[in-house]
Amino acid sequence: MKRGKKIWARTRLLVLAGLVAFTVPATGPWMAGNKAEAAPVFTHSGILYEQSDFDRAKTNIASGTSPWIEAWETGKQNKYASSTYNPSPVAAPARYGDSSKNVGNQQLFDDATAALTQAIIWKVSNNATEAAAAKAKADQILDAWSETVNKAVGGDENQLLAGLTAYKLAAAADIMRADSAWVNSGKLTAAKNMLRNYFYPPLKTFLANHQGKNNGTAYPYYYRGNQDQAAMVSIMAIGILCDDIAIYNEAVSAFKSGKFNGNINNYLKVSSDAMLAQSEESGRDQPHSQLGLGLLATMAQMSYVQKKGDASFEDLYEYSNRLILKGFEYTAKYNLGQSVPFAPVYTSTNNSWGRVESAVSTSGRSQIRPVYSMVWNHYKYVKGLADSAATDPVYYTRSMNAAIWPESVHTDHQPFSSLMYSRISRPANSLSHTVSFNVKETTSYITAPSGGTSPLLANATLSYFKSASNAEKFLVTYAGSGMWTLKSLANNLYVSVSSTTDPLKAKDASVIGNQNKFIFVDQGNGGIGIKSVQTGKFVQIKASTGQLLADESSITSSANDKFRLMYH
């Protein structure tokens, strides 16, 4: 049958956000010529996940199987997983380039991450009390925002605030469909209305006019691709949650052929190595490159879940000869310390903003985001691609995933990624990594003297962590129940602390007990707190001596108690 042009029924929705009237697509049938066809049917298993993902995680947690048990135990070591977490909703959330004007920005990022974290805990926990508490907490967070927000997300960076949070709120709400009491009380409808009425319109507007600013008239444009992709990923999620195929297709269209930097063909360009694709932001810095890649992959994951339920959907993982994978391989290879080809995107002659990026950026190199587990597991175990040799298509993505597993939490991305996407078991107690401990937001690193009697110090300065000597390297090994041991490569002795007044030292030849065990408490966005099991306190750097003491009751806003794990 020859198809005619597809036409969508539309309704008008007036949204008072700068007194602009938006055209919001309504759910409706496919129209082929004059004959209506049934619209694709959405799968509602959590937007990002299949039911089998929850089942696999729950079964393997119950049996204590690696790697799920480690991902589960470590993934709960952050505030978003706490049963005492409380939401902080605001009526008119807003984000600005001038952060002093922000309203509810951090609260919304935190609460969206917590809502999805708690929803996942409810689905996979084998402890009835824990599961019930998580269900109540996920409901509480979603309800708090649905009942409070009464104005479209605002500010001149609203695309980032709405875009990097709405997809997690939508995923959490989709998971909570399984809570019939919550649904029957109208709470799901309230969550849908909030996202559709107050999050979707500013995202749609941003993709159309980029805040009305000078964005240029040809590629490359002013706004970096990740800002488009933040809007795209949440538009897609809202379309799924609301069973609105027109909204969903807006996101797919932007992914494939949007007019700015965010569409995948503008954002990723295959390099002189046909296995690698450079990002539009590769010359900017590595965290933003990974952000953009992660958002594109998240859209692909959503599309894959939908295609599993209805074959008429397109699997975006496969789009343009698996261009997403080539982007991941490029960025993973570079952040693993290797060289990659680079072709400048921004030069002195092709833009009016003075933006010149003549080489792949070293800024933020190896500040790794939690985006690799989902992509590696998909292409390796779902699609069956090879990953064992450097010439294989998933080699560097696998190598990066192995280096940083389990992935941490970052409020731009999904929580529990290693838990939800891992597909094969591994030998128990085999989890160890060689790392350097960077003092977050500085160039300082923890160093261990070669002798075992001297305290560790936070006084090594490195321009790039790959230049670390053994004095700045530690073997961290999983010890069960969310705990880790730290062994200095300078003297092959384990780090130990006996009391709150005893500085950390690498002095024990073997693991004696709690004095050698530490918990990495994720602080979000790449930072961790190091908590001593022996003292029950967090490690902090004493400014007067540079020594490390495990004597702090809670993480503060200062930089002396937050660290980055830099994986060698």
Structure tokens at 251: 């996101």
CA dihedral 67, 69, 70, 73 (to 10 degrees): 160
Give one DSSP letter per residue of 451-480, joined into a string.
Answer: SSSSBPEEEEE-SSGGG--GGG-EEEEEEE
Can you tell me the distance from the alpha carbon of 409 to that of 397, in angstroms, rounded to the nearest whole number? 18
If pLDDT is split at 50, 70 and 90, which confidence band does 404 have? confident
Nearest CA among 223, 302, 303, 290 for reference residue 263: 223
Comparing 47-56, 161-170, 470-479, the range with the smallest average pLDDT is: 470-479
Can you tell me the distance from the alpha carbon of 423 to that of 438, in angstroms, rounded to the nearest whole number? 31
If pLDDT is split at 50, 70 and 90, which confidence band does 216 have? confident
DSSP tag of 415:
S
pLDDT of residue 524: 67
Please count the other Cβ atoms lying within 10 Å of the Cβ belonging to residue 389: 7
Please name the residues in contact with 519: beta carbons below 8 A apart, sequence gap of 6 or more.
77, 482, 483, 484, 530, 531, 533
If pLDDT is split at 50, 70 and 90, which confidence band does 168 have? very high
Higher pLDDT, 464 or 336: 336
pLDDT of residue 2: 39
DSSP tag of 247:
H
Burial zone of 38 (CB within 10 Å; 0-12 exposed, 13-18 middle, 19+ buried): exposed
Can you tell me the distance from the alpha carbon of 210 to that of 470, in angstroms, rounded to the nearest whole number? 48
- 3-state class of 175 per DSSP? helix
Backbone dihedral angles phi then psi of residue 217, each to the nearest 5 degrees:
-115, -5
Domains 51-421 and 432-567 share a fold: no
pTM of the model: 0.86
Strands (E) across 481-525 are located at 483-488, 494-496, 505-508, 518-524
- Omega cis (within 30) before 67: yes
Can you tell me the distance from the alpha carbon of 80 to that of 330, in angstroms, rounded to the nearest whole number? 32
If pLDDT is split at 50, 70 and 90, which confidence band does 33 have? very low
CA contacts within 13 A on the Cβ side of 408: 24
Structure tokens at 457: 């110090």
Q: What is the pLDDT of residues 524-561, one digit of tens each?
A: 666 788 999 999 999 999 989 999 999 999 887 777 88
Computed over every residue of the chain, the mean pLDDT equals 90
What are the boundaries of each domain within the chain? 51-421, 432-567
- 3-state class of 435 per DSSP? strand
Provide the CATH topology of domain 432-567. Answer: Trefoil (Acidic Fibroblast Growth Factor, subunit A) (2.80.10)
Q: Could you tell me if residue 298 is left (phi over 0), alpha (psi between -120 and 50 degrees) or otherwise beta?
A: alpha
Mean pLDDT across 493-516: 94
Residue in the block written with tokens 């922000």: 102
Nearest CA among 177, 171, 173, 169 for reference residue 153: 169
Structure tokens at 160: 């980032």
Q: Is the pLDDT of residue 65 over 50?
A: yes
If pLDDT is split at 50, 70 and 90, which confidence band does 29 have? very low
Number of residues that make up the chain: 568
Burial zone of 509 (CB within 10 Å; 0-12 exposed, 13-18 middle, 19+ buried): exposed
H/E stretch holding 265 reads helix 264-267
**Strand 432-439 with 563-567, pairing:** antiparallel
Burial zone of 475 (CB within 10 Å; 0-12 exposed, 13-18 middle, 19+ buried): middle
Strand partners, 473: none
pLDDT of residue 440: 78
pLDDT of residue 526: 66
Q: What's the CATH number of domain 51-421, 3.20.20.80, 1.10.10.10, 1.50.10.100, 3.30.70.260? A: 1.50.10.100
pLDDT of residue 9: 37
